Amino acid sequence: MEQSISVGIGPFVISFKTKSETLSFILRNRYKEYLKRPAKSGETVKAFLVAKPFNSIQSPRVLRGNNETVITRNDFISRSKSRQGKTDLAVTGNRYSLDSWLRVFLSLRALKRNGLLLHSAGWAMGKNTFIFAGESGRGKSSIIRILGKKNALSDELVLLYKKRGKEYFGCSTPFWGELSKGSGRLFDRKLKAIFFIRHSKNLELSKLSESEAARGILKTSLFFSKHPADNSKLLETAAKIARHTPAYELGFSLNTPRSDITRLLDEVSRWKK
């Protein structure tokens, strides 16, 4: 019997339809905090379980052509009809394969909302979201350990997207790094500032220009498409986020007191861009 399971991440609702008990179990357990009612305007993904890898491709690839988008790796392949909002997905039966496919799929859909997936930790304070971006080893998980998981959006990937005209929001994702998973609380709040983090002996803050911020956003975006139109849209999106969001370089150490960081966030939230 075919089952319908809808997963909502930020403004995106993806309705999976599958006859596989294995995939149904993965969807209901891996994304249980993100389960939603089906949306009329959402994406529909027909998911099929396969037993063996398709090819030797180790890193995801995105192919565009004939009003169709193909996402492939050795453990999954999907074909999406651009104008129909429908996707056929064949994937091996483990959560890492499905998780990897969903990250790439969501990164492409985010472009439609002038958004992207950023390699970053996110933390909510008041009505705002603060982003701590950086490549592996920069301290994304470390800063969430200091601040606490209760208000964390992720320690690995945060979805940024445009909402209400010119405002950008940052929202929780099920994609976590060293800390594995969050507290169960989901956040979708106004993006207040982006910090590009590094390890330092002292708590250090320096303002970045729009061009420096845009380069940092591009460097830390999760994106696999090499299609010219996709890359052009990514450049445009990074520039828009940098234009509307203050960005800083933040140095901190594992011994930096939580109160020092929250005090800094409070101060930054009152500064004008």
In a shared domain, residues 77 and 162: no
Looking at the fold, whether 21 and 145 belong to one and the same domain comes out as no
At 220 the pLDDT is 98
69 shares a domain with 165: no
Query: 10 Å Cβ neighbour count for 37?
Result: 9
Same domain as 163, residue 104: no
Q: 58's torsion region: left (phi>0), alpha (psi -120 to 50) or beta? A: alpha
Q: How many domains does the chain have?
A: 2
Q: Are residues 58 and 179 in the same domain?
A: no
What is the DSSP pairing of strand 43-50 with strand 86-92?
Answer: parallel
pLDDT tens string for the chain (273 positions)? 899 999 999 999 999 999 999 999 999 999 999 998 876 667 899 999 987 767 778 899 999 988 899 999 999 999 998 766 899 999 999 899 999 999 999 999 999 889 999 999 999 999 999 999 999 889 999 999 999 999 999 999 999 999 877 799 999 999 999 998 887 899 999 999 999 999 999 999 999 999 999 999 999 999 999 999 999 999 999 999 999 999 999 999 999 999 999 999 999 988 866
Are residues 24 and 62 both part of a single domain? Answer: yes
- CA-nearest of 222, 85, 254, 111 to 157 is 222
Domain boundary among 57, 83, 108: 108
Full residue range of the structural domain in which residue 160 is found: 116-270
Sequence letter at residue 140 = K
Residues 193 and 72 in one domain: no
Looking at the fold, whether 125 and 169 belong to one and the same domain comes out as yes
Per-residue confidence (pLDDT) for residue 273, from 0 to 100: 62
Residue 185 is inside which H or E element, if any?
none
**Do 104 and 138 sit in the same domain of this protein?**
no
Predicted pLDDT of residue 113:
85
CATH number of the domain residue 145 falls in: 3.90.228.20
pLDDT of residue 52: 73
CA distance 230 to 238: 12
At which of 108, 143, 172 does a domain end? 108
Whole-angstrom CA distances from 217 to 19, 85, 102, 239 are 39, 28, 21, 9
Together in a domain, 58 and 164: no
Residues 9 and 73 in one domain: yes
pLDDT for 183 equals 79
Q: Which residue, of 74, 108, 142, is where some domain finishes?
A: 108
Whether residues 264 and 130 fall in one domain: yes
What element of type H or E holds 186? none
Name the pTM for this structure: 0.94
Q: Which residues face 45 on adjacent strands?
A: 16, 87
Q: Helix 228-244 to helix 210-220 angle, to the nearest 10 degrees?
A: 130
E-strand stretches of the chain: 3-9, 12-18, 35-36, 43-50, 61-65, 68-73, 76-81, 86-92, 116-125, 128-133, 152-154, 157-163, 167-171, 188-199, 204-207, 247-252
